[in-house]
């Protein structure tokens, strides 16, 4: 973690020490923006948000053990404690992250894209961790606050840093890239996520491509070569590009694969120099894109074939991302409730469709957010897609999911089709919906919080069966 003398921090931030006589050459040990989770010795950075002001919690942070606090308002500092006055505390957070980043001469890997950023990050980390000490983005710390905090949390002996970069507006990836200064950049795909703010997939491509602005001149850009939008970057980038995908025109490609339903995926992957026989303990052929990225970077960093294959085999999904939950009464849940887009919906539907089950296959699908004027067409597209599959029951939940329901109906969906305007309405009816040995996919955008529905399924399965 970031450890530094207080007076050096003042210098880095071009700040002003408050009550300098109370500073005794101590060093801060880490950084926090949450007064409730202070570890003694940390620097507290109060951030101003739309509905809160971290300055109101400086005293609480100091009481909980913070060594010192930044402030942009000297009057907000409690009496009898020292502080560092800066113009803007969030800008100060970024300055510290940039400074700390500059002290490392190790590979930094930046990952962005419409879908799959976290899974890609975790797969690359799983592979590289077979040899290196890897530091990676935790949870959803992929924005203008989370990424600087991720860098400041790095141990000094870190050998690889993997940083996830999220955005929903133009210039946000550029901002994050300027902090991270990646040596490797991965763009997973160009989908419809955040199209409400970016206008079109061409706009999304432009926003995601901002990661290239701060990619090292001798760095490597990894692109999904099966994505028609990313393919347009060929010949337009000064850095080296490596394309990957299922199409055999890519430099790294999937020779063959078999989706094993709930048992995972096995595949043969070809690189320019090696053939890899892969066994994934996770669901969906889309995971092979992230496997390809991990192989490319693993080879570039001189990992041997056995290390790469070991790392791939050890991969585990993050929480609420295609997790398998088996209940005692024979019901199985595929929990993919963390987030949703058109592409990830289709990938999850494929998994359900290909999974063997003694009971019914059931899809509980909720709204996809941030679609704007594209929402109707996007939800109808998912409905049309599921109509082409052999899934026994589709339950659509949420305001916009009525279009998913209508899309499935219009394209001849042959299963049992239900619609609930609200999550509570579905939850109230759950005991009449479930049957023994159902295999249930649950997926929606984060704001739908369909993990509540999963808890209801568990409750009903215990009490009713």
Q: For residue 114, say whether it is annotated as part of any ligand binding site.
A: yes
Sort 458 into a burial class: Cβ within 10 Å, 0-12 / 13-18 / 19+.
middle
Q: For residue 130, say whether it is annotated as part of any ligand binding site.
A: no
Angle at 399 between CA 52 and CA 421, to 5 degrees: 110
* H or E element, residue 325: strand 323-326
Which of 125, 128, 320 has its CA nearest to residue 137?
A: 125
Contact 54, 47 (CB under 8 A): yes
Distance, CA of 385 to CA of 110 (rounded, Å): 32
Q: For residue 35, say whether it is annotated as part of any ligand binding site.
A: no
Which of 283, 264, 371 has its CA nearest to residue 335?
A: 283
Which of 26, 79, 34, 91 has its CA nearest to residue 57?
A: 34
Contact 146, 97 (CB under 8 A): no
- Burial profile 190-212: b = 16 or more Cβ within 10 angstroms, e = fewer: bbbbbbebbbebeebbbbbbbbb
Q: For residue 443, say whether it is annotated as part of any ligand binding site.
A: no
Question: In terms of DSSP bridges, do strands 275-280 and 265-270 run parallel, antiparallel, or are they unpaired?
Answer: antiparallel
Q: What is the DSSP string of 36-91?
A: GGPPTTPEE-PPB-SS-BGGGGHHHHHHTT-SEEEES-GGGSPTT--EEE-S-HHH
72 Cβ contact list (under 8 Å, min separation 6): 48, 55, 85, 86, 87, 88, 89
Q: For residue 86, say whether it is annotated as part of any ligand binding site.
A: no
Binding-site residues sit at: 113-119
List residues forming the annotated binding site for ATP. 113-119
């Amino acid at each position: 973690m970031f450890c530094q003398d207080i007076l050096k921090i003042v210098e880095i931030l071009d700040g002003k020490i408050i009550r300098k006589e109370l500073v005794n050459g101590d060093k801060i040990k880490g950084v926090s923006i949450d007064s409730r989770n202070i570890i003694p010795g940390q620097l507290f950075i109060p951030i101003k948000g739309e509905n809160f002001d971290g300055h109101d919690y400086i005293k609480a942070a100091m009481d909980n053990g913070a060594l010192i606090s930044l402030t942009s308002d000297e009057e907000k500092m409690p009496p009898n404690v020292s502080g560092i006055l800066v113009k803007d505390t969030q800008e100060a957070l970024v300055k510290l992250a940039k400074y700390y980043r500059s002290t490392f001469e190790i590979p930094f890997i930046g990952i962005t894209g419409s879908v799959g950023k976290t899974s890609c990050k975790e797969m690359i980390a799983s592979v590289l961790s077979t040899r290196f000490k890897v530091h990676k983005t935790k949870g959803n710390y992929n924005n203008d606050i989370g990424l600087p905090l991720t860098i400041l949390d790095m141990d000094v002996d870190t050998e690889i840093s993997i940083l996830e970069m999220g955005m929903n507006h133009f210039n946000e990836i550029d901002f994050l890239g300027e902090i991270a200064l990646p040596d490797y950049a991965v763009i997973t795909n160009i989908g419809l996520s955040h199209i409400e703010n970016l206008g079109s997939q061409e706009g999304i491509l432009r926003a995601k491509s901002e990661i290239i602005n701060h990619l090292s001149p001798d760095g490597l850009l990894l692109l999904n070569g099966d994505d028609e939008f990313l393919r347009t970057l060929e010949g337009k980038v000064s850095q080296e590009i490596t394309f990957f995908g299922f199409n055999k025109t890519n430099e790294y490609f999937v020779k063959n694969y078999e989706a094993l339903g709930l048992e995972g995926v096995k595949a043969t992957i070809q690189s320019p120099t090696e053939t890899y026989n892969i066994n994934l303990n996770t669901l969906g052929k889309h995971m092979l894109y992230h496997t390809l990225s991990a192989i490319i970077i693993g080879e570039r960093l001189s990992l041997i074939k056995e290390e790469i294959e070991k790392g791939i085999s050890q991969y585990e999904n993050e929480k609420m991302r295609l997790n398998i939950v088996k209940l005692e009464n024979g019901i199985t849940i595929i929990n993919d409730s963390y987030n949703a887009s058109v592409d990830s919906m289709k990938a999850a539907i494929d998994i359900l469709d290909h999974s063997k089950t003694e009971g019914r296959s059931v899809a509980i699908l909720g709204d996809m957010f941030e679609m704007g004027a594209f929402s109707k067409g996007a939800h109808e597209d998912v409905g049309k897609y599921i109509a082409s599959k052999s899934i026994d029951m589709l339950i659509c939940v949420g305001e916009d999911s009525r279009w998913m329901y209508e899309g499935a109906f219009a394209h001849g969906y042959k299963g049992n089709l239900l619609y609930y305007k609200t999550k509570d309405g579905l939850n109230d009816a759950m005991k009449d919906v479930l049957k023994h040995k159902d295999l249930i996919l649950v997926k929606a955008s984060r704001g739908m919080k369909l993990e509540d529905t999963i808890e209801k399924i568990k409750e009903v399965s215990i009490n009713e069966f």
